[in-house]
Amino acid sequence: MKCDTFIEALSARVKVLEVTRQCEDQVTALVELNDLPEAVRFLYYDMGGYLSTMIPNDERSINKHYALYYALSMEGGKMFEGDEIAQDEKCFVTIKVLISPDSLTYPSVTPLVPACVWYEREAYDMFGLVAEGLPDKRRLALSDDWPEGLFPLRKDAMDYRYRPDMKDHYMEPEYEFLRPEGSGIIDVPLGPLHITADEPGHFRLFCDGDTIIDADYRLFYQHRGMEKLAENRMNYDQMGYLAERVCGICGYAHSIACIEAAEKAINLEIPARAQAIRVICSEIERLHSHLLNIGLACEVTGNYNAFMHIFRIREYSMKLAELVTGGRKTYGNVVMGGLRRDMTGEEIRESLKILKIIETQADEVWDAVMDDQRQMKRWKGVGILDKQVARDFSAVGPNIRGSGIKRDTRYDHPYDFFKQIEFNVAVVEGGDVFAREMVRYMELKSSVSIIRQCFELMPQTAIIVDPKFHVKPENYALAYVEAPRGDNVHWIMQGSAQKVFRWRCRAATYNNWPSLRFQFRGNTIADAALIVCSLDPCYSCTERVTVVDVKSKKSKILTHKDLKEFSKTQKNSPMKDLR
C-alpha cells in the first residue's frame, strides 16, 4: 500500500513504536521523543518530503500526554530533473511523538528543517510545549503581554484563576525585532498599517543606505478564536461555514479542506457531480484571486491603468461565482456529503459565455502589461526567492512554482474531480516578482480550461449523500486543497457525536511567511511593498487566537458598539482586560 516504502525506510533509521493508517494515502508513525528531529529530517530531505503542517494536540484525556504531529507530503525534492517520487507512491507520512505533561519539552526540529520554525514557536504559545534548541523562542501568535502560564488551546484553558501578577498584562512590552549586527544600519518600519496593505503587519527593514540587508516582521494582529470555537460549539457543517470565513479570497478552498478532512476521517465518498462543482468553485476563486494580485502588483508600481482594466475583468469572475453558487463571495455551499446547491443547464451555458470573455480580455490586458518596459523593470530581478530557500521552508503556491519547483497539490495529490482533469502545472524559473506573476497568468489560462472540462465531464448524479455518521472518537485525517496562494491543509480529530476534538487550520500564507526575509535582502526600500504584494499574503488566514477575559474566565465576541467604545478610551473601557 501507499506509504509502506517510506515507513520501511524510516524504521531502518529510527525506532518506530507504532504505525496507524488514516486512509489510503495517509499514515502516521509514532517514534521516540529523542528521535523526532532525525525522523522528520530523514523524511524531509533524504526521502523527498515537504512539511504540510504540524499539529500540537492536548491528548491528556486520551493517553495522559500532549502530542505533536509533523505531517509531510512525500513527493520528491524536485530540485532537479528526476528528483520526484513516482505518482502512484506520493502520499502523506506523519511523524507523531508524545510529550509528558510533567516536562512539556521536546527536541526542536527547526535546526535540521527550517520549515518547522513557525510551527514550533506557535506550539509554545498555544500549548506551552517548549522546543529545546529552537533558535527563535519569541512569541508568534499571542501578544507579548499575554499572561504567562495561560495557553489558549489546552483543553483546560478556561480552568484558571486570576492572579495579582496579571493586573498589568495589558501594558504590552515592545516586541524585540532581530536586528543584524553592524554600524550604519538604518531601521526602517513598514506598517503595522501601510497604504499598500489591507491588513496589519509590522515589518522592520534593516538597510545600508537604500539597500535592505535583512528584515524581520511581527504579524498576528488580527485575533480570532475559530479552532477553540469549533471544539466547543459547532458540528461539522457549521465548521464548514466558519472555515469559509477564514479568508476573503480562499474561503471556498478552506471550507472544502475542512469538510473533506471530516469526510476522510469517516471514509465518506461524495457524488461525482458534487466533486466537479467543488473543483469549479475552487478554480473560480483562483481566477478572481490571481486577477486581484496581478492588478495589485501593477498598482503598487503606479500602473493604475492596468490595475483598473484587470479589476474590470475580475468582476466577471464574481458573476461566474454567483451563477455557480448563488453568492458572489460567501457561498455557504459545502456541507458534509456534498453540496447544498446544484447548477441548471442555463446557468452552465451562461457560465461558459463568461469564461470566454474572461479568457479573451485577460489575454489582451496581459499582452499590454508585457509590452510596458517600465512595468517589466519593476518586476524583473526583484524579490528573488532562491530555489534552495523555497525548498528549506516548504513554500507553497506561485511562490514556490515561481522558483522553478513543480509543487501543486492538484498534481501531486489529485483530489475530487481532478483525477479526471488534464492540466499543466505552471512553473517558471527565476524566483522574482515577474516569475510569480507569470505563474498566476498561466494559472488563469489553466483555470478556464479546468472549469470547461468539469462542465463537460460532470455526470448527472446527486449532489449530496447522507453522511451516516459512524464516528469513532480519536480518528483523524488531513485534507488539502490547492488554493490560489498554495495548498490549504486542514487536520481534524473526531470527538463524540458530530463534535470535533481538535481542528488545525493551516492556510497557504502560513508556509510562505517565514522565507519572506530572504526575498527582501538585496532589494531597495522602494521595492519592499511590491515584494510583500507578490507573496500575495493573507494576514488573517494565519491568525487564530482565542479571545478571553482573564478576570471573568469567559470568552466574548465584541459587538460593533463594544468596538466603538473600546476605540474611544481603552483606559476606562470595561474591555481593557480583553485579549
Residues annotated as binding site for Mg(2+)? 227
The DSSP 8-state label assigned to residue 164 in this structure reads G
437's grid cell: 506573476
Q: Which of 423, 428, 425, 290 is nearest to 365 (CA)?
A: 290
CA distance 504 to 324: 29
Cis peptide before 192, with omega less than 30 degrees from 0? Answer: yes
Alpha carbon 193 to chain centroid, angstroms: 22
Question: Is the CB of residue 39 less than 8 Å from the CB of residue 31?
Answer: yes
Question: Is the CB of residue 116 less than 8 Å from the CB of residue 51?
Answer: yes
Q: Would residue 415 be called left, alpha or beta, if left means φ above 0 and alpha means ψ between -120 and 50 degrees?
A: beta
Cα angle, residue 507 at apex, residues 125 and 322 outer, rounded to 5°: 140
Q: Which of 249, 342, 240, 237 is nearest to 287 (CA)?
A: 249
Q: Which of 228, 230, 225, 249 is nearest to 241 (CA)?
A: 230
Question: Is the CB of residue 247 less than 8 Å from the CB of residue 538?
Answer: yes
Amino acid identity, residue 521? R
Dihedral, CA atoms, 244, 247, 251, 255, nearest 10 degrees? Answer: -40
Place of cell 507578490: 534
478's grid cell: 488531513
The DSSP 8-state label assigned to residue 147 in this structure reads P
CA distance 403 to 391: 10
Question: Is the CB of residue 389 less than 8 Å from the CB of residue 518?
Answer: yes
Between the alpha carbon of residue 275 and those of residues 420, 456, 479, the distances in Å are 11, 14, 14
Alpha carbon 23 to chain centroid, angstroms: 22
Question: Is the CB of residue 548 less than 8 Å from the CB of residue 561?
Answer: no
DSSP-assigned letters across all residues of 530-567: HHHHHH---TGGG--PPPEETTTTEE-PPPHHHHHHHH
Which residues lie across from 19 on neighbouring strands?
29
DSSP-assigned letters across all residues of 433-489: HHHHHHHHHHHHHHHHHHHHHHHHH--S--SB--------TT-EEEEEEEETTEEEE
Dihedral, CA atoms, 161, 166, 172, 174, nearest 10 degrees? Answer: -110
Place of cell 483530489: 415
Question: Is the CB of residue 57 less than 8 Å from the CB of residue 493?
Answer: yes
As annotated, the binding site for Ni(2+) includes 247, 250, 538
As annotated, the binding site for Fe cation includes 250, 541
Radius of gyration, alpha carbons of the chain? 23
The DSSP 8-state label assigned to residue 172 in this structure reads P
